[in-house]
């Protein structure tokens, strides 16, 4: 009799823990996934437009392959830092956005210099 009661209690606890696990896993999976989703905002929009401009300039011959590789590496670094900020701080704070915008502005200036340098040679 005592053995059946112990088995019943163990079975009940197992069912309860299983139900708790089943309920909490989708919430945890959703939380983890949200950290990796690309978030559209002013910083992401600037990165995207600069990347489009970079590819267009290469296609039009305004920058050569060495400049493309250097600028692509710099832009990838900025995007990686944005991802790092998002994961470390659970989103971008004001300081993070200010830092990323300053880096994107320096990148834009570098891209403009590369365009102007090539353009001056063609004229």
Confidence of residue 120 (pLDDT cuts 50, 70, 90): low
CA 62 from centroid of its chain's CA atoms: 28
Residues 51 and 24 in one domain: no
Q: Tell me 1's DSSP state.
A: -
Q: What pLDDT sits at residue 121?
A: 54
Residues 58 and 101 in one domain: yes
Which domain, by its residues, includes 25? 1-37
Residues 50 and 99 in one domain: yes
Give the global pTM.
Answer: 0.64
- Please tell me the total count of domains within the chain: 2
Residues 44 and 30 in one domain: no
Residues 85 and 123 in one domain: yes
CA 12 from centroid of its chain's CA atoms: 44
Rounded Cα distance, 54 and 57, in Å? 5
Confidence of residue 33 (pLDDT cuts 50, 70, 90): very low
Residues 61 and 112 in one domain: yes
107 in Cβ contact with 74 (< 8 Å): yes
Residues 22 and 79 in one domain: no
Residues 29 and 72 in one domain: no
Residues 49 and 24 in one domain: no
User: How does pLDDT run across 61-91, given as a tens digit for each residue?
Assistant: 999 999 999 999 999 999 999 888 888 877 7
Q: What pLDDT sits at residue 57?
A: 94
């Amino acid at each position: 009799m005592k053995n059946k009661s112990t088995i019943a209690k163990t079975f009940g606890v197992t069912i309860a823990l299983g139900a708790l696990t089943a309920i909490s896993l989708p919430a945890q999976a959703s939380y983890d996934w949200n950290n990796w989703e690309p978030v559209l905002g002013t910083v992401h929009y600037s990165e995207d437009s600069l990347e489009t401009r970079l590819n267009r300039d290469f296609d039009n011959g305004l920058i050569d392959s060495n400049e493309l590789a250097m600028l692509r590496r710099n832009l990838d670094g900025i995007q990686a830092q944005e991802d790092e900020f998002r994961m470390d701080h659970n989103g971008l704070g004001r300081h993070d956005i200010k830092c990323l915008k300053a880096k994107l502005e320096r990148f834009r200036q570098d891209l403009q210099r590369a365009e102007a340098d090539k353009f001056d040679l063609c004229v």
